Amino acid sequence: MKSRADKLGRMVSLVKLQLRLAEWQLVHLRQQEQSLQDEQEWLVGALNGGKPPAGSSSDSIARRLNRTSVGVRAVKEQASRQLDQVRTETRRVKQLQVVANAALADKLRDAEKRALEEMTGISPAVREWTPRPASRNKT
């Protein structure tokens, strides 16, 4: 069975991948928002220009502008939720990294302790049978 530190390390890498995906989705939403805003600016310019583009009436441009405004609001709400998710994932990554680092430090300490025991010739079984020194603190 794999050690706790190894499992936690895999969990950290998985959560980091989830964070990267959430960040990518946020960037994609921001790009969508920007393109919708650019379209809004173009439509407003077309309406204010007095002469609509060929094949378009002022009414059709106004309808498109209305749909674009609704789309911008929806994308902004989605981006806000996605930003919250990115922040949550970032906190999760940091928390898991702290736990994984502690588990790795424990694993390294245990390995070092076993190596020292092997070097000194004290086996864990012998240590269990030897009496512990009495505490010097008197109560």
| Separation of alpha carbons 93 and 84, rounded Å | 14
pTM of the model as a whole: 0.67
CATH number for the domain formed by residue range(s) 4-129: 1.10.287
Confidence grade of residue 89 (pLDDT, cut at 50, 70, 90): very high
- What residue type is 65 in one-letter code? L
Higher pLDDT, 104 or 70: 70
Q: What's the Cα-to-Cα distance from 98 to each of 75, 84, 95, 101, 137, rounded to whole Å?
A: 34, 21, 5, 5, 35
What does the domain layout of the chain look like in residue ranges? 4-129
pLDDT tens per residue, range 33-67: 999 999 999 888 888 877 767 767 878 888 888 99
pLDDT at 137: 67
Burial class (CB in 10 A: 0-12, 13-18, 19+), 69: middle
